[in-house]
Amino acid sequence: MDCLPKHPRSPSSIKYKARVGYEGEYYLVQKFISAGDGFYAVRTPGSGTGKMAKPDIIATDNGELLAIEVKSTRKKYVMLNQEQVNRLLEFCRRFVVKCPRCGVEIKAKPILAVRFLNRGWKFIEVPEDWRGSIIVRVDEASPRLLQSSPSHSDVEAGSSFPKKKALK
């Protein structure tokens, strides 16, 4: 189901880019839904627009709550700028589900899902305390997390997602 929309006259057109992004999100939602009990996902309309922090997809992955920011690209890399990272992390900090019986709080895990067109997917769990931009390259095993500190040191992070059945 990793088919692409019909190639337009202008691949840089806003309409085509939006279509490619929508199809990536739709593909992931369908993978969660088809995985069976314990797995489900919904797209959040208008994600990435306005001032409200909200991810592209909210999903359950065998009991884990996920907030997924989806990026699709034809390039060999994608960058999530500091503002986008902050909005994803803010959503996860504020979107907390509390069990009425035991009082346990369940927080969403912040996930960056990158679709490299005709090359596959990469999934990165963003550290909750991260401050900075993230660059994901198709040919690198780990993403580059660019720390927004005076030293601007690069930090390597492992791609621990997906662990579950939904996206295998």
User: d(Cα 74, Cα 100) in Å, to the nearest integer?
Assistant: 45
Omega into 162 within 30° of 0, i.e. cis? yes
Query: Residue 159 to residues 2, 109, 140, 141, 144: CA-CA distances in angstroms?
Result: 21, 13, 11, 8, 11
The residue from 10, 12, 13, 47 that is catalytic is 47
Residue 160 falls in the annotated catalytic set: no
How far, in Å, CA of 44 to CA of 52, rounded? 12
Cα separation, 62 vs 40, in Å, equals: 9
| Residues known to be catalytic | 47
